[in-house]
Structure 1
Amino acid sequence: MAIFGLFGKKDNQPAPVEKDTSRAKRKEGDAKANAGNADPERLKQAQRNAARANATARKIDAIESEMSSEFRPSVMVANPDTLPLTTPTNTFPNQKQSVEKNDSPTTMTAPSALPTMAVTTEFLLGEEGKTIFIEVGTSETEQVIEEASILFANEQNAMAEQLLAEAVHDEKLNKTTKMAWWMLFDLYQITGKQQQFESLSIEYANRFETSPPTWIDSAQSEAETAPAQRKGAVPAVAFSGKLDGSIIKMLERMQKFGESSNVLRLEFTKITDVDPVGCGLLLRSLQKLQKSGHDLILVGAAELVAKIRSILEVGRRDETEAPWLLMLELMRLLNQEKEFEEASIDYCITFEVSPPAFVAPQNKITTAADEGGAVDALSDSFLMPNTVDGKTDQLIASIGKFAASHNQVLLDCKRLTRVDFTAAGQLLSNLAPLCSSGKTIEMHNVNYLIYALFNVMGLKEIAQIVPRKL
């Protein structure tokens, strides 16, 4: 028997969701019953749709069946309290050259959607003790790095990838600079492009005759970036990359956590794409959690709704209803009744069936504005969230609360994947008063895309920025 329940509902539960195979059989039966009156082409199309629905549903069932038979409980070990992070004396031991401070700022024009501002192109911390040993290329290379960091901050991933890919293969650019390579590695990691990452690793090893960065799978990344699991901490499952059949491992972890905790934190901010099978698996998991009475903390659910909506088209019947039903379920969990009703109409038009009724969630559902970070008076560091967008009020307030009891404001960025352009400016303006009051600010484990952006924005003038180790 599959671990997760079939589409359906109990009393006080979400409206019933009919299993794809049942719907397909009903349609096939209706088609046969009306065969004498139906248009032959329309009948053939209905049969094809039913067959596709059956195939997709069987695929989802097969994945769940495999999960049921192969699942082995994993031991949950609480991580020790977060230890103080120390500043490495040489972050890049393989590099020989320390670049001197460049006092000549250059002016750069941001993308059209962003304000134009004057920025410095210095990529090192200017003060003694803050110098990072890193090989810097020509001013042309620096301009590429600045532009790519701003494109990524503005969620223009494809353009940033194209710019960096051209930079690492452009013979006209300085061959010694590694910053563009490191940024491209981080971009592939964040967007879940493992094949491109591995190909770049081979090129990197041949070019620089040194070991390239290694790919971090989602399970390892979660273990390394999750907050310290102290007593009472909420277990979290962070989905990343494409939402497809491969999420079965994450669902197994979610089930294991659910056995020992009535509250689960589900993070969707790193999902880059969705497909029908992944939607079907996640839908069943969410329904099971609702039936078992779990409270949920949803991070990035609204963004996931937008990604699902992008693959749907009103009037086009795909092989399964799962993406539509997952979108409606997420809207219901977010208590977005108006959006739910509008999407229900589109669903009804597309599949010519009655949509599920809106039922407010019975359990506690919070969106856990992730901007708040992790504040712990006993910790020596403040854990930054996965993303920082334009809404930074709560994050700034949390950092201020942490700084009130710490003279050294150490911001741990190991989970941080993206900071948008506007938010970076807000961080600069709000952290500056802390620096003026005598606090020292350090940002550790910064990925190279954000590292480049922070240098563009001038955050290095008020904080020590230490990139992550490769």
Structure 2
Amino acid sequence: MGLFSLFKKNKADDDAADITAAAKAGAEDEAAARLAAHSELERQRVQQELQRDIARATAMKIDAIEAAMAADIFDDEEMPWASRPARAPRAAALDGNTLPLLKAGTTELLGELDTPAEAAAAETAPVVEEVALLYANGQAELAAELLAAAARDQRDRTVWWMLFDLYQILGRQEAFDSLSIDYASTFETSPPPWNPPAAPDSAAAPPAGLAPTAALSGMLDAGCAAQLARLHAVPANGAMGAAGPAGPLRLDCSRVRGVTPEGCALLLAALRAVQAAERELTMAGAAELERQVGAILAVGRRDEGEAPWLLRLELLRLQNREKDFEESSMDYCVTFEVSPPPFTPPQRVALAPEQPLAAAAADRFVLPYLLEGDASAVIEAILAYAEQYPALVFDCARLARIDYGAAQQLLAALQGLGERRIEFRDLNHLAAALLRLLGAGASVRLFPHKY
């Protein structure tokens, strides 16, 4: 073997050894890289799991703190939203024969079915009777204190309704608004609107007497002239039974289903005539009628003429809705490019809710704002009213208070009329509680206004 062959062989062996060593080193490096990558992934996974554990622990701690804070807040008895005892379950209906209900008047059924069970149970509660007597005797502030205390501790709606009525009679709107918030929170329903009874002019005699009723129904159009004529007629017995133009009137629009410009013009003229004559007016269904009139109007369109626009403004004024009146006035001004009539607070106007069926159409006897002391003049007018009608319907929308003595005189006179259908409509809940306490519920029908 030559020298060069020997060197060549040794070089080949060295190269093979180098390649083998390099391959081995590469394999070791690759394994080390894989191990390092795996370790990094494992470290990241462990870190993420740790972060999730920390987040879960933090969330649980926050939930525990919030639960403790909520318990501290809502268990405070002094707060208006404090937790209250659970509502008692409604009593199961008594078994018995229900067929006699078919013979009852529809008005009676509608009047009673809307009364919640808790309100019906409270009608004879001691606090209700005590407050009724206090208020009847002129102790209104003390009655308000008792009612406010009872409302905080009870869920009887009659107590709340009496307090709503009393705040409106006393003109305490801020207290009324505060009570409305508590009422909505307690019963989860809308509170009643602020609608105080219209106090009579101190210079005039308190209005009472037969109230001829103009009941409008169907379409308010040119054909309603005959019904509206009753608003212009002078009643046979006016205030306190004396003839004269000051007798009260009643307008029921609750069954009107549509309006025309001609009908709007007729009703507008009738309402203006009543106001000009300073007649006492009780109006039912004014809000719904205003909505129907507004439905045929559009800003900038003069096709209907001015009468519907002016009637809408008059209806808003009679409801004492000054803000809505101003907004509608701007629309009227834009449409006709003339100045709208100014807003003036309504005088001698009372609003009444809708009444069902025949009860809405009958002529009613309007009771005065205050009935106290010697009620002989009012009773004399009632007896004259009873000679003309087999059924007696008393409009109590204006009645703010009747004292104990006058209530006894009134009920005694009604009992002397024998078997007659007698109804007191739109009573405030204070007067209704007094009449019920005196036994009126057994001989007459009492219909307090609905809240």
Give the TM-score category using the shorter length: 0.3 to 0.5
When the two structures are superposed, what TM-score results if normalisation uses the length of structure 2? 0.41
Bigger relative contact order, structure 1 or 2 (CA pairs below 8 A, ≥6 apart): 1
When the two structures are superposed, what TM-score results if normalisation uses the length of structure 1? 0.40
Between Structure 1 and Structure 2, the one with more helix by share is 2
